[in-house]
Every structure is written in structure tokens, then in C-alpha cells.
């Protein structure tokens, strides 16, 4: 299975830029990771703020799950054997864009969960409650 970035490169036949090889493709999740990993020495208030990212990730995942379920219902309702109603996902390009968007959102949620967990760990290491 190819990754999202490699799948997109294969679609466009565009070589990866030098910065993509070093940091990965410029995406919301990679930007969050890039910024978080280069910031050091957070104070307690900053760590408490960042620990909230885990809760944001939880709610974002729930909302994304509801949205994907709704899309599934739309697709199920849209096409019945021998009967095309609206054709929203008839074009494969629309489906691919939708799936790439969902994959990007899942990566952002993952990065938010990671940042929140790291911040909570650092607070515990400092002996501070993170709630």
C-alpha cells in the first residue's frame, strides 16, 4: 500500500521537493509536528494548554467518525443496483480527494493526540497535575 504522499506524487508524476524528503510533505499534521518538536522549555501554563490537545483530538475523531458515517449513508442511499439517484461519488477523482482529505484529518488528530500526551507526560514528570 502506498502512502498518501507517494500516492499523490504518483498521480502527478512530480518529483518530491528537497524539503519534502527532509520533513515530509507540507501538511497540517507535519506542520504541527515540525513546530512542536522545535519548541523546547515550555512552562507549566504552556504545558497545561498543550495537554488539552488530547481532548481536542478525541472530539475531532468523534466528529470525523460521524461525518464519515454520514458520507457512507449518502453513498448507500445514492446508488441502488440498477438505479442512480444523484451520482455524487460517480467520479473516481471525487472519491480519491475525499479519501485524501479524510487521511489528512486522521493524521492531524493523531498529531494532536501525540502533542497532548507529551505535554501531559512532561507535566507529570515535573510533578504537576495537568487538569
Percent of the chain residues topping a pLDDT of 90: 44
Number of domains observed in the structure of the chain = 1
Distance between CA atoms of residues 78 and 89, nearest Å: 9
Q: For residue 59, what are the domain limits?
A: 25-30+43-131
- Residue 14's pLDDT band, with cuts at 50, 70 and 90, is low
User: Residue 46's pLDDT is what?
Assistant: 93
**Burial (0-12, 13-18, 19+ Cβ within 10 Å), 79:** middle
Q: Does the predicted model carry a pTM greater than 0.85?
A: no
- Residue 61's pLDDT band, with cuts at 50, 70 and 90, is very high
- Is the confidence at residue 88, as pLDDT, over 50? yes
Domain-embedded: residue 18: no
Domain-embedded: residue 38: no
Amino acid at each position: 500500500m502506498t502512502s498518501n504522499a507517494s500516492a499523490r506524487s504518483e498521480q502527478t508524476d512530480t518529483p518530491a521537493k528537497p524539503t519534502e524528503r527532509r520533513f515530509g510533505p507540507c501538511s497540517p499534521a507535519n506542520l504541527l509536528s515540525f513546530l512542536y518538536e522545535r519548541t523546547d522549555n515550555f512552562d507549566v501554563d504552556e504545558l497545561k494548554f498543550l495537554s488539552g490537545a488530547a481532548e481536542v483530538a478525541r472530539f475531532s475523531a468523534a466528529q470525523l467518525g460521524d461525518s464519515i458515517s454520514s458520507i457512507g449513508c449518502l453513498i448507500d442511499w445514492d446508488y441502488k443496483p440498477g438505479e442512480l439517484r444523484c451520482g455524487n461519488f460517480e467520479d473516481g477523482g471525487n472519491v480519491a480527494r475525499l479519501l485524501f482529505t479524510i487521511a489528512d484529518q486522521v493524521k492531524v488528530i493523531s498529531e494532536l493526540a501525540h502533542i497532548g500526551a507529551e505535554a501531559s507526560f512532561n507535566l507529570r514528570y515535573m510533578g504537576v497535575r495537568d487538569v
